[in-house]
Structure 1
Amino acid sequence: MNNTQTPFPAIDSLLMLEGPEGPLEVHVEWPDADQTAIAATAIVCHPLPTGGGTKDNKVVTTAAKAFRALGMPSVRFNFRGTGKSAGAFDNGIGEVADLMAVVEWVRATRPNTTLWLAGFSFGSYVSLSSIGLSRPDYLVSIAPPAGRWDFDALVRPGMPWLVVQGEADELVDANVTKQWFDQLQAPQARYVSMPETSHFFHGKLIDLREAILAWAADVRRA
């Protein structure tokens, strides 16, 4: 598996990278031309494939738009067995390997940029599971499914970290997520609880975007 010969595209592009089980479908998007660029790259991981999650999920695309508003390109990709990506669902284990293929490509092709890593629901579990390997500079976890996946073995994030959780989440118990977050006592973490907000942030996507932008502004000033 060698993606170092695949350049990071200079314009919005759909491309296929080599993953552990074959091709991975990847979507790169750049900020608007009038946006001030920063030396950063964002990767966003999508929710559970067996529940219909893809790189085009509205929460995923909202997070990607927020990163582009900050001046960095966003990278969304389909985990194995989703869309045009080869392979089959692997309960988070193989999906970490998929993510690492994308991370390694970004690091090889954009070596002088910071890495912002985000995930929604199952995607947040995968991104959190990867941090010992992916070593992101910044981390965003949206509706992390504590209580539904094994979060006990996850490494405590040591980088600036944002968790956004809806209080009316019908799939993830917000109380369990908050308890898990508090127990970690992560040194550079922020927890944002959004009232009257469902798992898929229906009617709250702008609020989600603003939460990411506000946090990013603070950590970049720090």
Structure 2
Amino acid sequence: MQINSQDVQISGPAGKIQAILDLPKGSSLTGGASGDSSVSDCDASFISVNCHPHSLHGGTMTNKVVHTVSRSIAGLGIPSLRFNFRGVGASEGSYDEGRGEQLDLLAVVDWMKSRYPGKQLIVTGFSFGSFVSALAASQLQPSMLLSVAPPVQRFDFGDFVRPECDWTIIIGSKDELVEYSGVVEWVNSFSDRPQMITMDDASHFFHGRLIELREKVENIVTQHINNQANEKD
């Protein structure tokens, strides 16, 4: 499915938030259709919001992993938004160690819900973005949480409450920034363990493995959509 990307600006708690909305061809900011036949493939039941890696270490909404995840989801017919946290790019404000960034995420989700009312929410995060999205999940109550390379030994996940939703973790076994064994130990600490997908020999930024990452994201989200549909039957 062809993807159209639109630059948008959202009002946030620290000022304007710069964002990109990845849309299936033929859909619109208001969730309607423009008459293109490809819209018939659009899954109108979901929206997605995606969080980027560390703001002080070059993390932005155009990061290759975030770009891949967001457009993979949009390719399934789901409006998918990626945005810059406060102090990154044209987003106003300054880095706040994950606290203010959670407020940014809440504002962005509210913006998406106002334009696509009644849709189920998918939230994804990569590295620092997975920390922010995980801590905000209890407030957001998403239908699905996807955490890519969660930095469980670099940030304090002590306030994290396991969300009552589908939750999947993707991690490379050769991640040079996030200790793989630490993620395994963290996952095993939950009585209701999330699904964990290991990409053998993949690095933190999935160099040379982005196509494989895209396929895994597509499979994970498709399975979630199918499960939700089956529960309604």
Q: Same fold (TM over 0.5)?
A: yes
**Which residue matches 1:55?**
61
Q: 1:181 aligns with which of 187, 192, 201?
A: 187
Structure 1: how far apart are the matches of 2:128 and 2:164?
21
How many pairs were matched up? 211
Structure 2 distance, partners of 1:84, 1:114, is: 28
Question: What pairs up with 1:1-222 in 2 under 5 angstroms?
Answer: 12-33=5-26, 34=38, 36-39=41-44, 40-186=46-192, 189-222=194-227
- Does the 8 Å contact 1:157/1:186 carry over to 2? no
Find the residue that maps to 1:139 and give its secondary structure.
strand
1:217 Cα deviation (Å)?
Answer: 2.4
The TM-score, its normalising length taken from structure 1, stands at 0.91
The alpha-carbon deviation at position 220 of structure 1 amounts to 2.2
**Structure 1 runs (4+) greater than 6 angstroms displaced:** none
Q: Which runs of 5+ in 1 are unaligned?
A: 1-10
Q: Which runs of 5+ in 2 are unaligned?
A: 27-37, 228-233
Give the stretch that moved more between structures: 155-164 or 49-58: 155-164
Identify which range, 102-111 or 122-131, moves more after superposition. Answer: 102-111
Give the CA deviation at 1:15: 1.8
SS of match in other structure, 2:145:
strand
Secondary structure (helix, strand or coil) at the match of 1:192 reads strand
Contact 1:100/1:134 (<8 A) preserved: yes
Percent identity between the aligned chains? 38
Q: What amino acid is the match of 1:161?
A: W
- Over aligned residues, Cα RMSD in angstroms? 1.3
Deviations along 1:132-182, whole A, 9 cap, x unmatched? Answer: 111111110000001110112201122011100000000000110111011
| Superposed CA offset, 1:52-111 (max 9, x none) | 000000000000111012111110100000000001100000000000000111122211
For 1:115 and 1:217, the matched residues in 2 are separated by 14
Please tell me the residue identity of whatever aligns with 2:14: E
**More displaced stretch, 118-127 vs 66-75:** 66-75
What is the TM-score with the length of structure 2 in the denominator?
0.87
